[in-house]
Amino acid sequence: MSYNAFKKYEVKAENLEDFLEKYTKRGRNKERGEEYVEARIKSHSEDLSKYGYTFITHHDSITGETVSYYGNNKEE
């Protein structure tokens, strides 16, 4: 996927953990336990490092729509 592929879904967050906490449906994050949360943070962090963004699908997003996060040091 290109860097700009998910730009139209971009939302703002303080950091990656804030993004995941704010935009993930409640039953699909902390309620699954600390080990699960840590694995999600690691996975999304790897995507952010590798691709420059990460995203949550509409199935897991509290908004019901796909949301993406490009970090705080975005390319323009």
Q: Tell me the torsion sign for CA atoms 43, 39, 62, 73.
A: negative
Give a yes or no: residue 39 inside a domain.
yes
pLDDT in tens, 22-73: 999 988 877 788 899 999 999 999 999 999 999 999 999 999 999 999 998 6
What is the rounded distance in angstroms from the CA atom of residue 48 to the CA atom of residue 10?
Answer: 13
Give a yes or no: residue 54 inside a domain.
yes
Give a yes or no: residue 74 inside a domain.
no
Give a yes or no: residue 75 inside a domain.
no
Give a yes or no: residue 62 inside a domain.
yes
Give a yes or no: residue 17 inside a domain.
yes
pLDDT for residue 11: 97
How many domains are contained in the chain?
1
Is pLDDT of 75 > 60? Answer: no
- Residue 10 pLDDT grade (very low, low, confident, very high; cuts 50, 70, 90): very high
Instruction: Residue 16: give the domain boundaries.
Output: 7-69
Q: Can you give the pTM of this predicted structure?
A: 0.86
